[in-house]
Amino acid sequence: MNPAPGATRRLPAEWEPQSGVQITWPHAGTDWGPRLETVEPVFAAIAAAITRRESLLVVCQGADHQRHVHAHLARCGADLARVQTGIAPADDTWARDHGPITVIEHGQPRLLDFEFNGWGRKFPSDRDNLLTRNLAEQGCFGGTPVEPVDLVLEGGSIESDGTGTILTTSRCLLTPTRNPGRSREAIERQLRAELGAERILWLEHGHLEGDDTDGHIDTLARFCDPATIAHAHCGDADDPQHAELALMADELGRLRTAQGTPYALVPLPLPAGIHADGQRLPATYANFLVLNEAVLVPIYGDPADTVALERLGAAFADRSVTGIDCRELIRQGGSLHCLTMQFPFGVLPQ
């Protein structure tokens, strides 16, 4: 359903006040199965950091899984008073892409349930595609209305400055395995209608080796405020990722804010290559999560961790910046932001 004529709708920025964050806990039926003992502590560390600032919605697979998750959260010092759980079958754990996207309409939150097809039918996704509907039926989102949208769109593929500008990549949104037959113009019209976007800024370049998402923006370039963009940067001319990221930086340098001024750019160095099974993994510091009064940044046991934390600390001077070791997460091709979906104030019960 499109907004009614004259309705005011916008996609809030991640730094606006939040009611909480959703994560989908790993289980034996996901690709994490063989590594649950090493990856669950990372999920628990993220969960504990979230509950220090706001509520947490954890998607579990059943009553036994729910008890297992609560035990993990208790051991890691999470504030269990801020934790709620929902039961919904899940193919995987990437809540950024199978969770709902919240817009604000007439001052009230509204959850958009876009179609999810496993990043262009690369992976099973039928259960993930029904996850938001299942959670809504359990009352996990309180009285917030949920609106199905006939468009394949992942939360990791769009960035909002909160004032009407959406940043995205053509490599992802125009992949024919997502919305076959829909042109750039048709997709842009729908983004304007569904998200209340006034401007769509398309990046044509930017690529990380090992990326399964076709170029999600949240691995490449992120708004820190309406006039600042942090982005992945490769300073090694011999790195095969250098050329594409340099072209992306040039594109970002040519973009203008709604007021017509250049964006302040914050380059985030890449860590040294991390490999698994002979393939480089898409490790990036751009996959950070903004919370109330804090920013959680993925780190990888690399000297570049310190540089990224310092630069993001300066970009988010009003928030504490905390690193979370995400070396286990990146083994499955994603990182901290990919695992989480934030909800603006008014969605999750407090």
Q: Which fold has domain 9-344?
A: L-arginine/glycine Amidinotransferase; Chain A (3.75.10)
How confident is the model over 208-226, as pLDDT tens digits? Answer: 999 999 999 999 999 999 9
- Please give the Cα distance from 233 to 241 (Å, whole number): 9
The pLDDT score that the predictor gives to residue 349 is: 84
CB 162, CB 226: distance < 8 Å = yes
- Please give the Cα distance from 62 to 49 (Å, whole number): 24
Predicted confidence band at 350 (pLDDT cuts at 50, 70, 90)?
confident
How confident is the model over 133-168, as pLDDT tens digits? Answer: 999 999 999 999 999 999 999 999 999 999 999 999
Supply 310's token pair. Answer: 């310092």
Q: What does pTM read for this prediction?
A: 0.97
Residue closest to 13 by CA, chosen among 153, 120, 165: 165
Predicted confidence band at 3 (pLDDT cuts at 50, 70, 90)?
very low
Rg, Å, the chain Cα set: 19
Average pLDDT in the chain? 96
The pLDDT score that the predictor gives to residue 2 is: 44
CA dihedral 267→97→175→333, nearest 10 degrees, is 60
- Please give the Cα distance from 3 to 145 (Å, whole number): 13
Sheet of 294-299, strands arranged across = 289-291, 294-299, 320-325
Beta bridge partners of 343: 20
Pairing mode, strands 221-225 and 108-115: unpaired
Pairing mode, strands 55-60 and 83-87: parallel
How confident is the model over 42-64, as pLDDT tens digits? Answer: 999 999 999 999 999 999 999 99
* Domain ranges across the chain: 9-344
C-alpha distances in Å from residue 296, one per residue of 47, 121, 131, 178, 268: 11, 30, 25, 30, 15
Q: Is 326 a catalytic residue?
A: no
How confident is the model over 300-310, as pLDDT tens digits? Answer: 999 999 999 99
